[in-house]
Structures are given as structure tokens and as C-alpha cells.
């Protein structure tokens, strides 16, 4: 059955698509960023030297435009061979027959940390190769804890403790106890998903059923409501980087953020600590949202098999370890190994970013990720602003997601 295209960039481009021939023996790569990473430059040359007659041609496109460009080219019938994409888009690309599977062997899957492969898998098939990975951990301001009469060396380990600590900081110091971002921005959904995965919740199951309206997720949304009075005022005005800036200025007691915050905190006078994200009542252990970006192989380039071969090479352990830079690049490692052990020994603050992986969960794969994102943001904002009670907001969002699964 021919897929029904929604009013997305894919649908708009497909409406006026015209197939064009691809160049032989050249792998074109839509590469997101301001410039090619020197590690990738080095290994592209190495791969070309071992594959006579083949070239890899990256096209550097800014972060704000690169995914749209890859989508437009593919939908118009003149795809790049490969593109850097957010893994959340893979299901939509697949359902619209724009990408090809990238199956992994059991050995390849086992090399990754748990659940990494889940971020690119649905229907039992892998649709991309992970190339970048992010997790979150919990940061607290020790001086604000002390000023509020709390133990500065004892961060909260549960949501109940976190809410109580936020309340104490707000009431004793007048400073926001917690930094809750709720702006109309994708990371508002991401931040809530950290709470989902620290309470053993899910959004969609392996069979494709929407599971958002669950007791675990209701508890997470209720915790959002409960911590809001002790968080930053006007949370809907802030996204996570703005919340991070508030924390760096000493104006929030606690936040959840990536390891990039630790790199920035080194240059401040903030007396800070980092720990596992606090957990909800149904948690099996520390968790986090597992976000990956991937290399997607587009259908119709004429070089699909060779592009898959290159994609697996450029994300292989040796190359990936160099690209991740021992933690200095701010990327969570995709695979365990000696390089990660060395990174942890040199920078102990990395530990919670690794610990959360075991019980973490992937960014949900739906056929319309923007629809997913908008429904989740609306749900969070309605609770944070008091426009809806958690159960009503959760039920409404779950119903909306049925359209996008």
C-alpha cells in the first residue's frame, strides 16, 4: 500500500519529486556542522586509499538546515548517498521509502552500550548507524544547598527528595530550587523523557502501541507539577541551554544537563556536583533519555551498499573513539572499552552519564516526529502553566500520538 504523506517537509517534496541519476562510485554525504571534523577528514582519506576508485564527498551544511536539505533531496528523487540525521526521523524516512535498512550483526549490536541500537531500530530492523550520542545527569549547586540548610554533599536520589530540596532552596534563599525548561522547543520533550526513563516508563512499545498514558508517566507529569512552584519563574520562556545559563549564574539550585555543562562549570566559581538523575517510585535503576544521531543511507543513490560499508567504517570503534575525543567533545561514548575506562579515570564526573544508560530509553520512533514533539510539548506546558491536570494532559497527548505512530 502506498504510504499517505502528511503535511511535512517529506510530503511537500514528494508532491513535486523528479528522479535524477546518481553519480557512480562517489558517496555524497550531507554533513551537519560548520566544518568537517579533522578525525573524519583523516579517516575518509584512509578509506578512499583502501577502496580504489571510490570517493567520499561531504557537503557541510549548518545544523539548522542540514536535515531539511537531506530530506528535500531524498524526497525529490536526487538523494545524497548518506546523511547525518536525528535518529528520531528514521521511521518517517523508512515509511516513506526514502532510506534502506542497515542491518547489524549480533557482534556489531553487542559492541554498543545497552539500548543504543534500539534508537535506530523498529520492526526488528536497523535503519541507521549511530554516530553521536548524548545522555543527561543531575547537577546541583552545593553552596545553595548549604544556604538552604541541606547537606551540600548529599544530592537527592529520588523525585520526592528532589522536590523537597527544591522547596527548601526556594523558601530559604529566594532562588529557584530547580531549572525546569518548558519552552516551545524540542528539548522540552527531551527533558520530560528523562523523567519517563527514570521511572521505568515508555512512550511506544516494540509492537508499535502507544504506552504514554501509564501510571509511570502520570507520576512523572505529577512530579513536574509538584516541582514547578519551586522552579524558575515562567518556565515556558526557557529552553535547556537558557536554563543551564541560569545555573551557571548561580540562580538555580538543580538542573539536568549534558556533560557540556561540566566543561563550562570548570571555568566558574560555582561549587557544583554531578550525580545520577533522581528516580521515580517505579524505577529499576538510574536512567536517562538516550539520544543518538545517525547516518542514514538513502534509497536511489546507486551506491547504497558501498555507503553502508563506509558508514560502518566511519563509526567503527577506532574512528569513533577518536571522534568522541575522550570526552572532551561532549559526546557520550557509544561503546564501552579501554578508552572509556581511561576517560572515567581522568574525569570522574563522567560516571553518571554512563551509569544512566543501562536503564535508559530511546527517543520514541514515530512516523511524524514533529507531531510527537508538539504533542509532548503541549502536554508539559499545559501542566506547568496550570492549564490542565496531569491525567487529562497525559490522556490528551496519548490520543494525539495514535495519529503519528
Q: What are the residue boundaries of the structural domains of the chain, listed by start?
A: 9-133+291-349, 137-287+366-401
Comparing 16-20, 179-183, 227-231, 344-348, which segment has the lowest mean pLDDT? 16-20
CATH number for the region 9-133+291-349 comes to 3.40.190.10
Band (179; pLDDT cuts 50, 70, 90): very high
CB atoms within 10 A of CB 78: 18
Whether pLDDT at 296 is above 50:
yes
Query: Among 20-29, 187-196, 234-243, which is the least confidently predicted range?
Result: 20-29
pLDDT digits (tens, 9 = 90+) for 326-359: 877 789 999 999 999 999 999 999 999 999 999 9
Residue 22 pLDDT > 70, yes or no?
A: no
- Cβ-count burial 2-13 (b if 16+ within 10 Å, e if not): eeebbebebeeb
pLDDT score of 252 more than 60:
yes
Query: 68-82, pLDDT tens digit by residue?
Result: 999 999 999 999 999
Query: Cell numbers at residue 340, please?
Result: 572509556
pLDDT score recorded for residue 267: 87
Report residue 10's pLDDT band, with 50, 70 and 90 as the boundaries. low
Distance CA(296)–CA(294), nearest Å, equals 6
SS (H, E, C) 111-163: CCCCCCHHHHEECCEECCEEEEEECCEEEEEHHHHHHCCCCCCCCCCEHHHHH
Q: Rounded distance, CA 382 to CA 179, Å?
A: 17
Size (the chain), residues: 405
Question: What's residue 20's pLDDT?
Answer: 42
- 3-class SS at 402? coil
CA atoms within 13 A on the CB side of 331: 17
Give pLDDT tens digits for 103-122. Answer: 999 999 999 999 999 999 99
Taking alpha carbons only, the member of 313, 289, 311 closest to residue 99 is 311
Spatial distance between the Cα atoms of 58 and 31, rounded to a whole number of angstroms: 6
What is the per-residue pLDDT across 206-226, written as a single tens digit (0 to 9) for each? Answer: 899 999 999 999 999 999 999
d(CA 148, CA 144) in angstroms, rounded, equals 6
The stretch 165-174 carries a mean pLDDT of: 98
Phi and psi based region of residue 278 (left: phi greater than 0; alpha: psi -120 to 50; beta: remaining): beta
CA 55 to CA 76: how far, in whole Å?
24
From the centroid of its chain, how far is CA 322?
A: 21
Position 2 pLDDT exceeds 90: no
pLDDT digits (tens, 9 = 90+) for 122-166: 999 999 999 999 999 999 999 999 999 999 999 999 999 999 999
Q: Is 362 or 8 the better-scoring residue by pLDDT? A: 362
The tens digit of pLDDT for each residue in 383-399 reads 999 999 999 999 999 99
Please identify which residue in the block is written with the cell numbers 554516530.
131
CB 35 within 8 A of CB 6: no
Decide if pLDDT at 244 tops 90.
yes
**CATH code of the domain made up of 137-287+366-401:** 3.40.190.10
Nearest of 321, 336, 276 to residue 136 by alpha carbon: 276
User: Same fold for the domain at 9-133+291-349 and the one at 137-287+366-401?
Assistant: yes
Torsion of CA 167, 169, 175, 179, to 10 degrees: -60
> What is the full DSSP assignment across 176-199?
BSB----SSSHHHHHHHHHHHTTT
- Give the model's confidence band at 19: pLDDT under 50 very low, under 70 low, under 90 confident, else very high: very low
Amino acid at each position: 500500500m502506498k504510504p499517505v504523506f502528511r503535511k511535512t517537509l517529506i510530503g511537500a517534496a514528494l508532491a513535486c519529486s523528479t528522479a535524477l541519476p546518481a553519480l557512480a562510485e562517489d558517496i555524497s554525504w550531507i554533513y551537519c556542522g560548520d566544518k568537517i571534523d579533522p578525525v573524519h577528514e583523516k579517516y575518509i582519506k584512509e578509506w578512499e586509499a583502501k577502496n580504489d576508485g571510490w570517493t567520499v564527498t561531504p557537503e557541510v551544511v549548518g545544523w539548522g538546515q542540514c536535515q531539511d536539505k537531506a530530506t528535500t533531496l531524498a524526497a525529490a528523487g536526487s538523494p545524497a548517498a548518506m546523511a547525518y540525521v536525528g535518529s528520531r526521523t528514521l521511521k518517517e524516512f523508512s515509511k516513506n521509502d526514502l532510506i534502506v535498512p542497515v542491518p547489524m550483526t549480533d557482534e556489531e549490536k553487542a559492541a554498543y552500550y545497552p539500548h543504543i541500537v534500539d534508537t535506530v531500530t523498529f520492526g526488528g530492523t536497523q535503519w541507521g548507524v549511530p554516530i553521536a550520542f548524548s545522555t543527561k545527569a543531575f547537577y546541583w549547586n552545593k553552596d545553595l544547598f548549604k544556604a538552604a540548610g541541606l547537606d551540600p554533599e548529599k544530592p537527592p536520589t529520588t523525585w520526592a527528595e528532589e522536590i523537597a530540596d527544591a522547596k527548601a532552596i526556594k523558601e530559604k534563599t529566594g532562588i529557584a530550587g530547580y531549572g525546569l525548561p518548558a519552552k516551545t522547543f524540542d528539548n522540552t520533550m527531551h527533558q520530560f523523557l528523562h523523567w519517563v526513563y527514570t521511572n521505568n516508563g515508555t512512550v511506544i512499545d516494540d509492537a508499535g502501541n502507544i504506552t504514554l498514558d501509564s501510571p509511570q508517566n502520570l507520576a512523572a507529569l505529577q512530579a513536574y507539577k509538584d516541582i514547578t512552584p519551586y522552579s524558575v519563574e515562567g518556565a515556558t520562556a526557557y529552553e535547556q541551554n537558557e536554563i543551564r545559563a541560569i545555573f551557571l549564574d548561580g540562580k538555580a539550585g538543580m538542573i539536568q544537563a549534558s556533560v557540556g555543562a561540566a566543561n563550562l562549570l570548570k571555568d566558574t566559581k560555582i561549587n557544583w556536583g554531578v550525580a545520577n538523575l533522581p528516580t521515580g517510585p517505579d524505577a529499576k535503576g538510574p536512567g536517562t533519555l538516550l539520544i543518538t544521531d545517525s547516518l542514514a543511507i538513502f534509497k536511489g543513490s546507486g551506491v547504497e551498499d558501498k555507503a553502508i560499508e563506509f558508514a560502518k567504517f566511519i563509526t567503527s570503534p577506532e574512528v569513533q573513539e577518536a571522534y568522541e575525543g575522550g570526552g572532551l567533545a561532549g559526546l557520550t561514548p557509544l561503546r564501552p572499552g579501554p578508552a572509556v575506562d581511561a576517560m572515567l579515570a581522568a574525569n570522574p564526573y563522567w560516571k553518571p552519564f554512563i551509569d544512566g544508560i543501562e536503564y535508559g530509553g530511546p527517543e520514541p520512533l514515530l512516523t511524524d516526529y514533529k507531531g510527537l514533539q508538539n504533542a509532548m510539548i503541549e502536554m508539559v506546558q499545559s501542566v506547568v502553566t496550570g492549564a490542565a491536570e496531569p491525567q487529562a494532559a497525559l490522556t490528551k497527548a496519548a490520543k494525539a500520538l495514535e495519529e503519528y505512530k
